[in-house]
Structure 1
């Protein structure tokens, strides 16, 4: 067939188009993706160890680059709110209940708001403690300590907020949860990290920790507290002050004396824990430990 034949020309054109399409299909095929840019590949069970390593390395390298060497960990309930917000909740609940005084749901709503107002003292205390730590770090950079929290609301928000309002930096270690966690707005952007694995997140909490301050909280707070105490008790981590805020709350929640009486822990294990009732006491406990 002559090269000038229209049918031949159409045949060549169709062949070229087919070849180009095949090339394009190859470029778009999953096997052609760069391994580190292939999410389907990286999310395989066989790659879990790689994901664990990457999740550890990203914050590690960033913190090293910024020469973050010492931190103070602040734990506590994600459900506490500031006094200002709590007062607003009480006012709103009172106004709604005034319109329907017999409504049991509105009565309970007011009780919940009043409890939030009572517990807002912990939010304010966490923010004040963070301010004390950050003020020291700004005036004494050679012994600087950076606040680190879980990155979410409640006590975590208060801790980051205290540093932010003092003009300092702080770290937030967020975690992927079934109900998506939103980072609080007071975290220093460079140090707003997100984790999938609790284990790696816990490593970063403790790796640079010079103290841990636990405010009242639920399962998450207790998990972090007892994991830290176990690591200290067994010598798997360097001894640091573990400070429990509000002795009355913690004594009601956990019968530490019973653990000693029953021989479940040694009496000297209680030396791992310090109880305080004010932000100033918490900060002084750290200062005393490190002669600041």
Structure 2
């Protein structure tokens, strides 16, 4: 015998509500004190314990030594996902000293030290600080060169271009100058900050939403090179040298595809880095000497980069990363 059905067929259930039930599941209410007077206190102790926190909301757990792999993954994934979301594909990466300010600031600092030194002509420490201030003031011209370069890159892609952007470490000095030039051109510009024991503020010219803070230097370096179409290196210290030599090593060993590496300020770099000595000593090959060159102006830097890509038969905005 078959069940009777109406003309419209058997009744079919309606979709369940996405959030609410008609009858709550067991456990939606805590065990009441009427059943056990100890229950509320015991429950509070359980729920207040740090281990009860959901894993992605538990900073103490995420910072354990055995969670380093997860932190490395997050350091990589957050910036990569958001850069892609914003349409950022390729970068002109700019490095240089955080200690070289814009010329006006350098001039003010120098004038203040000169006045102080005049009042204490026998102070050897002050005399040394004055000598350094004069050299920093002389190098402050590079701030304007980096600023001009940022503007040239920004203008090349138009006011809303994202496929080729200026990327820096997001700090002051030379990085600020490059971000500033791109910002003034109306272009988006990226900063990859690093978390340090002392707070490091990003410079104000990075595009909001495109400034990322990394825990690991290694992952920050990876993001620079994943998107780099050229590396432009202004005078700098340990951090600048670290990025420069690592990039040259990766190109030398072909762990990444060759890309333009431009050292700005030949007089400075020839004292810091005697590549001809390395060549004469036999610790690098002649072809390694050709992995970089010097430039002095923003126009020269930008034209050299563009010429390099023409000579290489490559498109500076071709899709795909240049490092694995």
The TM-score normalised by the length of structure 1 is: 0.89
1:22-61 aligned at under 5 Å gives the runs 22-61=42-81
Relative to structure 1, is the Cα distance of residues 33 and 133 closer, same or farther in structure 2, using a 3 angstrom cutoff? same
Aligned to 1:132: 152
Q: Which structure has the greater CA radius of gyration?
A: 2
Alignment partner for residue 232 of structure 1, among 241, 251, 266?
Answer: 251
Q: CA deviation at 1:102?
A: 4.2
Q: CA deviation at 1:62?
A: 0.2
Relative to structure 1, is the Cα distance of residues 141 and 290 closer, same or farther in structure 2, using a 3 angstrom cutoff? farther
Q: CA deviation at 1:110?
A: 3.1
1:102-251 aligned at under 5 Å gives the runs 102-138=122-158, 141=161, 144-251=163-270
Name the SS of the counterpart of 2:209 in structure 1. helix
Q: Quick check: 1:96 aligned with 2:116?
A: yes
Q: Quick check: 1:265 aligned with 2:270?
A: no
| Pairs aligned (count) | 280
Relative to structure 1, is the Cα distance of residues 22 and 236 closer, same or farther in structure 2, using a 3 angstrom cutoff? same
Relative to structure 1, is the Cα distance of residues 140 and 36 closer, same or farther in structure 2, using a 3 angstrom cutoff? closer
Name the SS of the counterpart of 2:172 in structure 1. coil
Name the SS of the counterpart of 1:207 in structure 2. helix
Deviations 1:61-87 (A, max 9, x none): 000101111101101111101001011
Relative to structure 1, is the Cα distance of residues 178 and 30 closer, same or farther in structure 2, using a 3 angstrom cutoff? closer
Name the SS of the counterpart of 1:182 in structure 2. coil
CA contact (8 A) 2:161 2:188 kept: no
CA–CA separation in structure 2 for the residues paired with 1:106 and 1:289: 46
Name the SS of the counterpart of 2:92 in structure 1. strand
Greater fraction helix: 1
Unaligned runs of 5+ residues in structure 1 are 1-11
CA–CA separation in structure 2 for the residues paired with 1:176 and 1:190: 17
User: Which 10-residue stretch deviates more, 200-209 or 129-138?
Assistant: 129-138
Aligned to 1:5: none
CA–CA separation in structure 2 for the residues paired with 1:282 and 1:156: 16
Deviations 1:222-271 (A, max 9, x none): 11111101111111111110111112221122111122222211111122
CA–CA separation in structure 2 for the residues paired with 1:44 and 1:146: 36
CA–CA separation in structure 2 for the residues paired with 1:113 and 1:266: 38
Query: CA RMSD for the aligned pairs?
Result: 2.1
Q: CA deviation at 1:14?
A: 8.8
Relative to structure 1, is the Cα distance of residues 55 and 140 closer, same or farther in structure 2, using a 3 angstrom cutoff? closer
